[in-house]
Amino acid sequence: MPFPRLLACLLAAFALSGCGGAPPTAPASAPPAASTAEGPSASVRNVSVSRTFAAPPGGDAVTYDQELVPVGARATVTAEEGGDRTTVGLEVSGLQPNRRYGAHAHAKPCGAEGTDAGPHFQLQQDPVSPSVDPAYANPENEIWLDFETDAAGAGEATTTVAWDFPADRRAQSVIIHAMPTSTEAGKAGTAGDRAACITVAF
CATH assignment of the domain containing 61 = 2.60.40.200
113 falls within a domain: yes
What pLDDT digit, counting tens, does each position of 111-142 carry? 999 999 999 999 999 999 999 999 999 999 99
What pLDDT digit, counting tens, does each position of 134-152 carry? 999 999 999 999 999 999 9
11 falls within a domain: no
Would you state the pLDDT for residue 14?
Answer: 40
167 falls within a domain: yes
How many C-beta atoms surround the C-beta of residue 153 within 10 A?
17
**pTM (predicted TM-score):** 0.79
The C-alpha atoms of residue 163 and residue 122 are separated, in whole angstroms, by 11
Number of domains in the chain: 1
- Evaluate if residue 175 carries a pLDDT over 50: yes
Nearest to 173 by CA among 157, 139, 197: 197
For the CA atoms of 153, 50, 199, 188, the dihedral, rounded to the nearest 10 degrees, stands at -40
How far CA 116 is from CA of 75, 119, 175, in Å, comes to 19, 9, 11
Task: Write out the H or E segment, with its range, that includes residue 194.
Answer: strand 194-199
122 falls within a domain: yes
